[in-house]
Structure 1
Amino acid sequence: MVAWFECTTTIDDVVHGSGWYYIGCGVCHTKATKGSTTLMCKKCGKSEIVGVAHYLSKLSVYDHNDQAVFVVLGDVGEELTGKKAAELVERYYQANKNVGEDHLVPVPQAMIDAIGQIRKFIVKVSNHNLTGKTHTLTVTKMLPIEAPTPKINLGENVDEETDNERDDHADEAVKRCADGIESEGAKRAKCG
């Protein structure tokens, strides 16, 4: 069983203590495997690939009734932060040249800035989510929040016209319309 549903939640926190990205195949995005001197991709069957950072973040979220942990992958992470994971990881290592490659890169500020935001997600639920050890839900897409419809109060800020002003505007509109019809007719006569 696999089901998808849409939900609007508030981002409560970014789950700390685990990485917020993974290094995957640049072609198929499958998590890369370390070889003796290169990165490999089991899915593509290649023994030498270019590794690219992809989002794999856990967000604690809540609505009016429940709290859950959402796993944010790939493009959804980019939609959330406005930045590619590879860009954020590269910036971190450029700024911290003395750390080793196995160093745990801290959660970027762009992701922390999402805390407190209300977002609409499409979430995938499968048997694994209900029976597995982890009780996380995978986000497959992020949707825009609809802007609230502006409320118009018709009773305020209305300029009233007198009957004479209204008649003058109407006369001008009829005259402009008539002028347009006359000039169109004249154009047709010349072409015919």
Structure 2
Amino acid sequence: MTVSELNQFIFTADPQIIEFLCTAKVTEIQLDEGWCYIGCSTCSKKLIREETSFTCVPCNETNAVAKLKYRVILSVSDDTGSAAFLGFDEEVASLTHVLASDAAQIVGIGTNAQVDIDLPRSLPNLVGSTYTFQLRLKDFNFGPNHRSFTISRIFPARDLAPKPTFSQEGGEDTDQSLPQSVAT
């Protein structure tokens, strides 16, 4: 699916949970919302900062162990349009080969906790590369506040073989640059 088709789909289709493959080039790392978050080491959900600790609501843990997790918004484009794709910890780490917790560290506790680095060097290296993204759309993607598509998997883009062309008379038009026979 092209980026344009993906953007059009969310405006015309009924809300649903569906997945698509889309091949696009990373054009920018959006930093308005940062590149990481402080997540639970057990369930990966964002932790609530308390005065002297972190709380994980899903785990019902008032002294949760914090771990830095990727949350990266990639600006992507293809020949048909542009969009924002949201990559979380495992997907981004598979591209960068660096865990978020190895790229930076959490300094401080509770409400004073901060990440000690602005942007790991491995993230800007993604810009200019083309990937095939498996995107998972949920009900909220179809709302008026839709801003990004969530990445569920990332594959290196691969060049596809050209499609054969066929003449109107039913015979195949062959490209003279292609071998006409194959050796056994």
TM-score, normalising length: structure 2: 0.72
CA distance in 1, matches of 2:146, 2:103: 27
DSSP 3-state at the match of 1:87: helix
- Structure 1: 5+ residue stretches without partners: 94-99, 156-192
The answer on 1:18 being equivalent to 2:33 is yes
Shift of 1:139: 0.4
Deviations 1:91-149 (CA, angstroms, capped at 9, x unpaired): x97xxxxxx74367422220101000001110011221120424210001112333667
Count of residues in Structure 1 that have an aligned counterpart in Structure 2:
146
- AA aligned to 1:67 is S
Identity %: 21
Aligned to 2:129: 117
> Distance between the aligned counterparts of 1:78 and 1:147, measured in 2?
24
For each residue in 1:54-73, what CA deviation from the matched residue of structure 2 results, as whole angstroms up to 9, or x when unmatched? 11010100011010001111
Q: What RMSD over aligned residues (CA atoms) do the two structures have, in Å? A: 2.3
Residue in structure 2 matched with residue 77 of structure 1 by the alignment? 92
Between 24-33 and 137-146, report the one with greater CA deviation: 137-146
2:44 to 26, 29, 40: 29
1:31–1:132 Cα change, 3 Å: farther
Structure 2 unaligned regions, length at least 5: 1-15, 162-176
Name the SS for the 2:79 alignment partner. coil
Deviations 1:159-192 (A, max 9, x none): xxxxxxxxxxxxxxxxxxxxxxxxxxxxxxxxxx
What are the within-5 Å matches in structure 2 for residues 1-192 of structure 1?
Answer: 1-90=16-105, 101-102=113-114, 105-146=117-158
Q: CA deviation at 1:80?
A: 1.7
Amino acid aligned to 1:30: K
Q: Separation in 1 of the partners of 2:84 and 2:95?
A: 15
Q: Which has the higher helix share?
A: 1
Q: Which moved more, 1:128-137 or 1:10-19?
A: 128-137
| Aligned-partner residue type, residue 43 of structure 1 | P
Contact 1:19–1:105, Cα closer than 8 Å, also in 2:
no
Give distance in 2, aligned partners of 1:69 and 1:153.
39
Letter matched to residue 148 of structure 2: T
Other structure's SS at 1:46 match = coil
Larger Rg: 1
Report the CA distance shift for 1:133/1:105 in structure 2 as closer, same or farther (over 3 A).
farther
